[in-house]
Amino acid sequence: MARSIDAVILAAGLSKRMGCDKLLLPVAGSTLFGIFLSRFPFSLFAKTVVIVANDEVAGICRNFPVGICHNDTPEKGQAHSIHLGLANTTPGNPILFSVADQPLIRHETISRLVEISLENPGSIIQPRVDSLPGNPVIFPADLRDELAGLAGDSGGREIIRHHNRRVTWLDLDSADQFFDIDTPEEYQEFLRQWPNHH
């Protein structure tokens, strides 16, 4: 591979709308987070770091080839998890940031994002369906300082807005793999969909 890309999986959210840690919800003998990790293509990345706030979530990580970084103050918002991800990856590498509550994300989608990043080293790489952007997103190494300047619940979207001309899109036909789970109703909908996706 001509360049190395690191991955940061953001798994320290507070799950306020769910009322419990959504990553630990049961799915087919595993958990929501266990399913996500089992589908993640670790071999594409020089290093994968998972930002966690929950010891049980950290325990799930130990079955996979990842570094574990504890966020002891998740109430500070997503930007703090991003800062921890930056601190635990290689300074010269682009970073793929992934949320952990998209268990339907496909290996092929992440693989294609990596390919596009290697072909377009100065671009932000983001998937979309129609005009709706999704996750994960790869940020080039030169935007690390701006990511480090985020605060509160500001995520990568702010950086993308500032550099919208640098975005290279991966256009996809179906939005199902970007289904994220924030509420009990969305969890039930996911369980209805799950038999069609594995």
Cβ-count burial of 53 within 10 angstroms (0-12 exposed, 13-18 middle, 19+ buried)? buried
Per residue, what are the HEC states of 31-46?
EHHHHHHHCCCHHHCC
Query: Which CATH number is 6-196 given?
Result: 3.90.550.10
Mean pLDDT of 99-121: 94
Q: What pLDDT was estimated at residue 87?
A: 96
> pLDDT tens digits for 151-180?
877 778 889 999 999 999 999 988 888 888
Question: Cα 172 from chain centroid?
Answer: 17
Least confident interval from 17-21, 41-45, 68-72, 100-104: 17-21
Lowest average pLDDT, out of 33-37, 38-42, 193-197, goes to 193-197
- Residue 46's nearest CA partner among 2, 105, 77 is 2
Confidence label for 11 from pLDDT (cuts 50, 70 and 90): very high
Per-residue pLDDT at 76: 86
DSSP states along 114-146: HHHHHH-TTSEEEEEETTEE-S-EEE-GGGHHH
